[in-house]
Structure 1
Amino acid sequence: MNKHTSKITTKSIEQSGLPSNYKKALSEYIWNGFDAGATRIHIDFEANELGHLGSFSISDNGAGIDIETIDDTFGNFLDSHKRDSANRDFYQRGRKGKGRYAFSTFANSCTWVTTFSGPDGTLLRYTIVINKGDLQDFIIADRSIVKKSSTGTVVSFQNIFDLSANLLSGKEFEDYLSSEFGWFLFLNRERESKIFINGVELLYENIIDDTEEVRYQIGDYHFKAIFIRWSEKIGDRYYFYFLGKNQKEAARKHTSFNNKAIDFHHSVYVESPFFDNFHETIDEHPVLEFSGKNQTHPSYKSLLRALNALVSSKEKQFIRGIQADKLIEEYQGRGIFPGSQQKADGLENVVKEIYCAEPRILQSSNTQQIKTLVGLLNVLLVTDNGRHIVEVIESVSVLQDDERERLREVFNKS
C-alpha cells in the first residue's frame, strides 16, 4: 500500500468549485468513463426498504487508469492529464481534474478498482482510495496481474449521506442524465454508447424532436453535418461543433439563432478531415497552409453560410409547423382576436405569417399590448390597407424575399 499526495491541500480542493449536488457530481464520473473511451456506463446500487444505500458504484469498460501516469492523473489538480488526450475535448468535462473529488458531495470515501493494459499487453489491476477528510492524499493498493478480464474502472462510494435509492431511481435523475448525455449518446449511437441504471438502459430519445444529416462538398473537402433539435434545454446547446479525426473538437461557434426565445433548442455537429489541423486565431488573418487552417479559410466561410441556411430553414419549419399554431391557440384562449370568426380567420393567418417572419414582434406577455397590436393589424386588413403591414414590419426587422411574398399573399387572400 502506497500513499501519494497531490499538489494541493484539502481546503483548496473544497474551495475550487466542486459540484453543488449529487446529479452534477455523478455526471463527473460518467464523463470520466466516456473520456477513457468507454461505450458502456453502469450505475448500480442496492438499498433497504427505507432507501438507504448499502452499495453504490459506477463502472465503465474504458481503458482504465495507467499506473505509470498516476501522478499525472491523480497527482495534479486543475491541470488534468486528459487535456492532451486524443479523445473528444467537447465532452471531456473533467479536464481540470476536479471530477475525482466530486464524491465528497454525498460520500465520505471513494474507491477506484481499475484495470488497464500494460506495455506488453498484460492486464494489470490495482485500487485507489481517497477519503473526504484527506482529499489531497490518495492510496494505491492491491496491485495484481489479471487474466480473462477486460479493461475498465469501477468507482464505488462508501459512507454515503444525503443520497438515497429514491433519488437515483426517480424520473428527475433520469431526465437529468438524458439532458446531460443525450447528445453524446446520439452522436455515438453507432459505437453503441449506452448508460444503464441497475441494468436498465437510459432512454434519451425523448429529448430529441428532430434530426437531419446533410453532406456538403466544398472545394476539396467533404463535410457531414448533423442537425439536432432538442425538446428541451440541454447541457450543450446553440453551437456549431466542428470535429476532426476521432470526432475531436477543433472549434465551436455560436449559431445566430439564439435570441428569439421560441424554444428552438438546437445543435449542429460537423465532421470532416478539414478540421484535423484547424485552429481558430484571435486575429482574422490567413495562416500559411503548412501550419494548418483557421477561420479565414474560404471553405470554412462557405461551410458557415451553408450551415446558417440549414438552421434557418429548420427554424422556419419549426415555427411554422409547431410554434405558430401554439401562438394562435394561446391568443384564442386570451381573447386576443375579435369576435367575428370570419374576420378572425384572416387575421389569424396574418398573425401566423408575421410570427414566422419575426417572432419577437409578437412575444409580449402583456395582453393589452398584444390586443392593441392585433387590433391595429385588423384595422389595416378591414380597410384594405394590409399591404402597409409589410412596410411596418420592415421598419423594425429585415424580411427575406420569401417571407415578404408569403405575407403579401396572405394579405391578398384576407
Structure 2
Amino acid sequence: MANHVNITSTGIKKVLRLYNEKQALAEYIWNGFDAKADTIRIDYTHNELGTLESLKVSDNGYGINFSHLKDKFNPFYESEKAMEQRIHLHKSTMHGKNGVGRLTFFTFAHHAEWNTVYEEQGIYKNGSIQVAVGGLNNYESVLINENVKTATTGTTVSFSNIQLSKEAIELSIIPYLQAEFCWFLELNKNRGFSIIINGVPLTYQDNIIDYEEGLIFRYPDSNTVFKVKFIQWKESLHKELSKNYFINHKGQEVYKDYTTLNKKADEYYHSVFIESEFFNEFDFSSSDHDAQVKLYSRTKSSSEYKYLIKKINELLRTKRRPFLKEFSNKLIEKYELEGVLPKFEAEEQSKRHDLVETLKVIYEIQPKLFSGLSIDQKKAFVRLIHVLLNSSDRAQLFHVIEGIIELEAEEREELMGFLAI
C-alpha cells in the first residue's frame, strides 16, 4: 500500500541537511534502543574495491506496529528548531527523532527497506516498509503475515545502492559510534546492552581516560548509601555532553542532568553514574529551591540529595584539577608560539613568572575566559592581566575577572587566595 506523508521529499532533505552518514547510522541504532531493544546488529559486506555491497541494521525491540505506521513514517517535525527539541530531556529513552529520523538514509544510500515483527493482542505479525530517495515523502507498506509462528519481535532495515566504503566504516563511522554510544552502553552495561558490528561487539575502552567505580557516599543522618562511578572520556559525547545519571536499585536510569562542570570550555568530558535505593520513588520534578513542604522527603530539596550533589561536585573538582593543570601548561606553550606573551628583559623574569603563574591559575579556575579568542584578543587580555598584576592594587584584577564572568564560591575563594586579597 502506498502512503504519502505530510512533508515534501525536498522538505525532508532540507530539515535533515545537517545530517551526515555517521549521524544517520547512529539514528538507526537509537531507533532500535528506543524500541526497547538491548542488542543492535550492524552487518555489512564489501567488494574487492572496498565498496559496500550490503548494509543492514537489526534490533530485537518491539517492532513497528502497522496500526501505528502513519505515526512512525509521517514526520511531524516541520522546522529545524523543532528537530533540535529533545523528547524526555532528562531520560535517555526516546533519544531518536521518531518518524523523520528513519529517513536519514538518503545521506548514504538510495533505498531502505524495513522488515519488522511485532506483537498485537497476543498475535505476532510481520510486514515490510520501503522508501526510496526520490520519494522520501512516500512509503510502500505490506503486511506480509498476520499470524507469524514466532515469539521474537524486532526490526531489520536494509539499505541498497550504498555510497559507503569499508574504509569509511572502519576509520570514520565506528569511531563516531564509539563516542556516540559509550556513555549509553556504560549506563546499561549491567543490563547487557550491546552494539555488534559484523559479529564484533562495539567497544569504547580506548575513549576512557579515567575510570573509577565502587565509590561510596553515605549520608550519616539517615545512613543513605549512594554508589558512584566516574568516567572521564577522551572525546566529546556529541549532544549528550557531561551528565549525572541517577539509577534505582534495579539498575534502571530514572533521571539525568548536566553536571556542574558541563560546558566549562575545557574539553573535560565526563559522566557520573549514581545508583541508590533512594531514587526508587524520587520526585525529580521538584526544585532544589522549592520551599514548599512535600509529603515525602525524596526530592531535590532533601538533605540527602544536597549532600550527594555536594560530594559529586567535590569529586569532579578533584578529578578535574590535574587535567586543568596539564592544559594550563599547554596554554602557556601555545601562547609562547603565538607571540601572545609580552617580551621580558633578563632582569624582568620575576614579572614573567608572576604573569605565567597567574594565567595558569585563572585558567584552572575558569578556562571559559580563554576560549574563542583571536590572537589580538589574547594579547589584549594577557597585557591587561600584566598591567593589573603590577599595579598598586592587585585586587583590581579580581574585580575585572569577576565582572567578566560569574565565579562560583569556591572559584572566588581560590582566586582571592592566590592574589592574596
Deviation at 1:96?
3.6
Query: Which residue does 2:331 correspond to in 1?
Result: 327
Query: Which residue does 1:48 correspond to in 2?
Result: 47
Taking the TM superposition and a 5 Å limit, the aligned residue runs for 1:151-300 are 152-158=154-160, 160=161, 163-166=163-166, 168-213=168-213, 214-218=215-219, 219=222, 221-235=224-238, 236-244=240-248, 248-258=252-262, 260-277=264-281, 278-281=283-286, 284-286=290-292, 288-289=294-295, 293-300=298-305
Query: Which residue does 2:94 correspond to in 1?
Result: 92
Q: Number of aligned pairs?
A: 385
One-letter identity of the residue aligned with 1:216: F
Secondary structure of the residue aligned to 1:224 is strand
2:318 is aligned, of 300, 307, 313, to: 313
Q: Is the 8 A contact 2:118 2:126 kept in 1?
A: no
Q: Is the 8 A contact 2:211 2:232 kept in 1?
A: yes
1:365-410 deviation per Cα after TM superposition (whole angstroms, max 9, x unaligned): 4353255246437747xxxx7xx546632553354545554565xx
Distance in 1 between the 2:7 and 2:143 partners?
18
Distance in 1 between the 2:168 and 2:127 partners?
25
The answer on 1:353 being equivalent to 2:382 is no
The answer on 1:372 being equivalent to 2:383 is yes
Q: Is the 8 A contact 1:42 1:197 kept in 2?
A: yes
Secondary structure of the residue aligned to 1:98 is helix
Secondary structure of the residue aligned to 2:8 is helix
Structure 2: runs of 5 or more not aligned: 77-87
One-letter identity of the residue aligned with 1:369: A
Distance in 2 between the 1:185 and 1:328 partners?
37
Distance in 1 between the 2:138 and 2:253 partners?
32
One-letter identity of the residue aligned with 2:367: P
Query: Which residue does 1:11 correspond to in 2?
Result: 8
Secondary structure of the residue aligned to 1:289 is coil
> Relative to 1, partners in 2 of residues 1:395 and 1:138: Cα closer, same or farther, differing over 3 Å?
same
Deviation at 1:212?
3.3
Distance in 1 between the 2:13 and 2:366 partners?
46
Distance in 1 between the 2:308 and 2:15 partners?
38
> Relative to 1, partners in 2 of residues 1:361 and 1:75: Cα closer, same or farther, differing over 3 Å?
closer
The answer on 1:34 being equivalent to 2:33 is yes
Taking the TM superposition and a 5 Å limit, the aligned residue runs for 1:106-117 are 106-115=108-117
Distance in 2 between the 1:109 and 1:361 partners?
48
Give the alignment's TM-score, normalised by structure 2. 0.73
Distance in 1 between the 2:306 and 2:180 partners?
30
Structure 1: runs of 5 or more not aligned: 80-85
* Identity among equivalent pairs (%): 28
Distance in 2 between the 1:296 and 1:47 partners?
57
> Relative to 1, partners in 2 of residues 1:103 and 1:153: Cα closer, same or farther, differing over 3 Å?
same
